[in-house]
Amino acid sequence: MKAIHINQPGEAEIFETEQPVRKEGEALLKLLYGGICGSDLGTYRGTFAYASYPRIPGHEFSAQIVEIDSADAEKYNLHVGQIITCNPYFNCGSCYSCKRGFVNCCEQNETMGAQRDGAFMEYITMPVERIYDGKGLSPLELALIEPFCISYHGVSHADVKPGEKVLVIGAGTIGVLAAAAAKAADAEVYISDIAPKKLDHAVEIMGLAGRILNDSSEHFTEQVQEVTNGNGFDVTIEAVGLPATFLACVDAAAFGGRVVQVGVGKRNADFNFTLLQKKELKLYGSRNALKKDFLSLIDLVKSGRIDITKIVTNKYELADGAQAFKDFSEHADKMLKVVIHFADPE
């Protein structure tokens, strides 16, 4: 079978490998769609904090069940031919976090495509307990559920309430979907980025309240003050992973506000931490997602309230998978969600 391989930063290729053989408690899946995540792009660029090489990328995907044991199928309400998505975060089950139920931030977490090989192959195997019924959603929709879960999980930390002003910094996939999740909570949502076209696109497809162009710290502050009448935002969400954008979230938050850190980066932030005390800010880190996030969002998308396929700007076939990474790396300011089509369901 064919798979996508990132050999080292800046070098991706399509290569031939053996089809996996499932073990007890696993199902064999045929991949249908895969989305290139910001972390996959970071692995390709050499900027992702958890990257190691060589690596098969991919943890946003939809698939079709090819083989599954009958007992597992009955227990988890699964069947051959079913279109599904999966939870790609492998937790150890024995660390302090896992024992307390925080399996999304397991101390030995291995996310597909990051600490272990990912899903960008024609066939993969997955533990059956990580497979979730797609409930009739299209393969493209199901490939977008995982990034929506990352965003939704972060927004849920902030307990966003109707009418609150929310600022999301970062108009990439996670940021746009975080804005969508906050809007679904009936908040007044603004989005910020350095790329005007991405901002305009995000506001248009998600029906957001407005945009804040982050072309300078002075202009950014001016716009924040104007939009919030000098009060700051009730909630700010960082979805980039840079020190400057984290500090912008702290600065833009209102006194008594909440700040959620979702973006992943390698660099340190140097700031006056007393500002956290002065504003009495609540600061939340958000990592991965939980099963309940997947199940809730499958139902939300099925309800028709949110069309997540609007975030897709570019589609590639598997044969062009290496080119997809190169193009995305060179034109990230113009490309939002890049997906790779692996196969159609049978």
Look up the CATH number of the domain holding residue 63.
Answer: 3.90.180.10
In this prediction, residue 52 carries a pLDDT of 87
> Does 124 share its domain with 173?
no
C-alpha to C-alpha distance for 133 and 236, rounded to whole angstroms: 33
Does residue 231 fall inside a structural domain? yes
The enclosing domain of 168 has a CATH number of: 3.40.50.720
DSSP assignment of 251-298: HHEEEEEEEEE----SS-----THHHHHHT-EEEE--S--HHHHHHHH
> Does 136 share its domain with 155?
no
In this prediction, residue 236 carries a pLDDT of 98
Does residue 293 fall inside a structural domain? no
> Does 198 share its domain with 279?
yes
C-alpha to C-alpha distance for 168 and 147, rounded to whole angstroms: 15
- Digit-coded pLDDT (tens) for 253-311: 999 999 999 998 888 999 999 999 999 999 999 999 999 999 999 999 999 999 999 99
pTM for this model (two decimals)? 0.93
**If we measure between CA atoms, which residue out of 283, 259, 79 comes closest to residue 178?**
259
In this prediction, residue 319 carries a pLDDT of 97
Does residue 313 fall inside a structural domain? yes
> Does 39 share its domain with 114?
yes
Does residue 291 fall inside a structural domain? no
Residues 6+ apart with CB under 8 A from 257: 232, 233, 234, 235, 236, 279, 281, 282
Residue 51 pLDDT exceeds 90: no
Does residue 92 fall inside a structural domain? yes
Range of the domain at 73: 2-143+307-341
- Digit-coded pLDDT (tens) for 180-222: 999 999 999 999 999 999 999 999 999 999 999 999 999 999 9
> Does 10 share its domain with 28?
yes
> Does 200 share its domain with 323?
no
In this prediction, residue 318 carries a pLDDT of 98
Residue 124 pLDDT exceeds 90: yes
> Does 45 share its domain with 138?
yes
- Digit-coded pLDDT (tens) for 220-236: 999 999 999 999 999 99
> Does 139 share its domain with 155?
no
Into how many domains does the chain fold?
2
> Does 138 share its domain with 234?
no
Does residue 290 fall inside a structural domain? no
In this prediction, residue 2 carries a pLDDT of 98
> Does 117 share its domain with 135?
yes
Q: Where are the beta strands (DSSP E) in the chain?
A: 2-8, 11-16, 26-36, 60-67, 83-86, 89-90, 110-111, 123-127, 131-133, 165-169, 188-193, 210-213, 233-238, 253-261, 282-285, 312-317, 337-341
What are the tokens at 267?
């660099």
Does residue 183 fall inside a structural domain? yes
> Does 71 share its domain with 114?
yes
Instruction: Supply the mean pLDDT for the chain.
Output: 96
Does residue 130 fall inside a structural domain? yes
> Does 161 share its domain with 187?
yes
What's the first-to-final CA gap in the chain, in angstroms? Answer: 17
